[in-house]
């Protein structure tokens, strides 16, 4: 009863794990990194980054693509650097890249292609902390869909044998309709694009490591604690309900719950082809252009009615 995702990755030798939506998304890929490394596979990390990369003292190895090393600047916000630091403390020496969040589909695709060629990648896994990567664009509320959609469309047709999406943190976003999210997952299941779900728990070495990494990032970036990663880590440890990790959530109701610790796996192409405005952003060169196209799509097209999950 092995998860189909891991069956599909059995022949992988060189894997690129990339954060799809920016910020802390790549953190959600670190358990996968550690598992694949335990199998002896080569793993490269990348992240669509909100870091001020021109000031990060990192080499720009390709337009908008910066290699993060231990000599990078200690900026107040720089999760990629602290992930590298944490992995090196565990005896790992990964290649990790930060990708500018100003890139549109075409330059982001070129950046991914550069990494695929340079590291002879045969498997690409986009990771999302949260589930806005599973929004198609016609839902009532879509979370922060723009960056995820840009990454998914950019990566969806890359010349690599295996392309997947992994999302973890169901329920963490507020401006997202979770009834529609489940409806989208059902549509992906019906289309044979679903590769199973898996619980990340502290009973797993990768789960324990994730909790430790989140605490490491909390200590190193005390003013920029991630709502998503802290919610997932807390849910994994049995916390429940209205729990706040940062002043940014004051005044809102949080719902930390056991579903947040589930990985959901999909064929990336199946998600990419369901994004309603994919064709319109295909030739975009900047993230601003992607955002403008998305806003135009929302204005000109009808949306699904918002529905609540009918569970008492």
Average pLDDT estimate for 39-47: 99
CA distances 62 to 54, 97, 116, 191, 282, Å, are 13, 10, 12, 36, 20
Q: How far is residue 108 CA from its own chain's centroid?
A: 15
The number of C-alpha atoms within 13 Å of 35 and in the hemisphere containing its C-beta is: 18
The length of the chain in residues reads: 312
> Distance (Å, rounded) from C-alpha 64 to C-alpha 146?
18
Helical packing angle, 205-220 and 30-38, nearest 10°: 140
Structure tokens at 1: 């009863």
Q: Which of 192, 124, 120 is nearest to 158 (CA)?
A: 124
Q: What's the DSSP call for residue 245?
A: S
The one-character DSSP state at 9 is: T
Is pLDDT above 80 for 247? no
Quote the tokens at residue 228.
């998503």
Enter the pTM of the model: 0.97
Question: Looking at residue 312, what is its pLDDT?
Answer: 80
**Predicted pLDDT of residue 206:** 99
d(CA 291, CA 285): 11
Q: What is the mean pLDDT of residues 219-245?
A: 94
From CA 30, how far away is CA 210, in angstroms rounded? 7
47-71: b (≥16 Cβ within 10 Å) or e: bbbbbebeebebeeebebbbbbeee
What integer pLDDT is reported at residue 243 of this predicted model? 86
Q: Residue with structure tokens 């992994």?
A: 166
Q: pLDDT tens-digit profile of 56-107?
A: 999 999 999 999 999 999 999 999 999 999 999 999 999 999 999 999 999 9
Whole-number Å distance between alpha carbons of 1 and 144: 34
* Confidence band for 310, pLDDT divided at 50, 70 and 90: very high
Q: What is the pLDDT of residue 249?
A: 78
**Please, what is the average pLDDT of the chain?**
97
**Which band of pLDDT confidence, cut at 50, 70 and 90, is reported for residue 286?**
very high
Say how far apart CA 273 and CA 289 lie, in whole Å: 19
pLDDT at 256 over 90: yes
Section 208-226 average pLDDT: 97
Residue 252 has pLDDT above 90, yes or no: no
Work out the pLDDT band at 1, boundaries 50, 70, 90. Answer: confident
For residue 248, pLDDT over 90 is answered with no
d(CA 102, CA 290): 10
């Amino acid at each position: 009863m092995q998860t189909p995702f891991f069956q599909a990755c059995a022949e992988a030798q060189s894997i690129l794990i990339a954060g799809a939506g920016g910020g802390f998304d790549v953190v959600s890929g670190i358990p996968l990194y550690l598992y694949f490394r335990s199998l002896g596979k080569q793993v490269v990390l990348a992240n669509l980054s909100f870091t001020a990369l021109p000031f990060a003292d990192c080499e720009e190895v390709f337009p908008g693509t910066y290699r993060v090393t231990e000599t990078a600047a200690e900026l107040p916000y720089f999760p990629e650097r602290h992930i590298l630091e944490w992995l090196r403390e565990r005896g790992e020496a990964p290649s990790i890249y930060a990708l500018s969040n100003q890139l549109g589909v075409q330059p982001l695709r070129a950046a991914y292609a550069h990494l695929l060629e340079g590291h002879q990648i045969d498997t690409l896994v986009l990771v999302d902390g949260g589930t806005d990567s599973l929004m198609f664009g016609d839902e009532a509320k879509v979370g922060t869909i723009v960056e995820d959609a840009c990454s998914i469309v950019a990566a969806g047709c890359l010349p690599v044998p295996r392309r997947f999406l992994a999302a973890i943190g169901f329920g963490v976003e507020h401006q997202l309709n979770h009834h529609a999210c489940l409806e989208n997952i059902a549509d992906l299941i019906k289309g044979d694009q679903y590769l199973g779900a898996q619980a990340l728990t502290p009973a797993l070495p990768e789960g324990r490591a994730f909790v430790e990494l989140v605490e490491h990032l909390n200590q190193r970036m005390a003013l920029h604690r991630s709502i998503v990663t802290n919610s997932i880590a807390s849910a994994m440890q049995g916390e429940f309900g209205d729990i706040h990790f940062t002043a940014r959530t004051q005044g809102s109701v949080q719902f930390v719950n056991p579903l947040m610790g589930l990985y959901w796996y999909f064929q990336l192409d199946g998600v990419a082809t369901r994004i309603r405005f994919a064709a319109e952003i295909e030739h975009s060169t900047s993230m601003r252009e992607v955002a403008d196209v998305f806003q135009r799509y929302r204005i000109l097209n009808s949306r699904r009615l918002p529905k609540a999950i009918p569970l008492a």
